[in-house]
Amino acid sequence: MRHDGGDRFDVVSAGTHPTRLGPEAVTAMQEVGVDISAHWSKAVDAFVGREFDYVITVCDSARESCPVFPAKTQLIHWSIEDPAAVEGGDLARLAAFRQARDDLRGRMQH
């Protein structure tokens, strides 16, 4: 969203169970000209109390455990398979990250 939306959006990203930034995510995003190599995984709790126009959850477990945001925040849920949960070799995992990237990008552009 930062890349495609430019300065139209103030974007933050966080997870309910942050771990590490996977190399497959970095590779998949580099393929479309987006460098996320300096990003890190942040906890959604770091943003509690901050006002947002929109909060988009992208996995079903996050939707259920996401903190409560002020009533004026529009909550949106996009059920997207977690690519980090895919088992298999490097190519299978990279394919899952590509699929998630393309799905997210398509939804954002829509």
Q: Quote the pTM value.
A: 0.83
* Cα(72)–Cα(16) distance, integer angstroms: 21
pLDDT in tens, the chain (110 residues): 888 888 888 899 888 888 888 899 999 999 999 999 999 888 888 887 888 999 888 877 666 666 666 678 888 889 898 898 899 999 999 999 999 999 999 998 88
Q: Which 3 state secondary structure label does DSSP give 62?
A: helix
| Euclidean distance between CA atoms 38 and 22, whole angstroms | 12
- Give the residue carrying structure tokens 């190599």: 37
> How far is the C-alpha of 98 from the C-alpha of 25, rounded, in Å?
8
- Could you give all domains of the chain from N- to C-terminal order, each with its CATH number? 2-101 (3.40.50.2300)
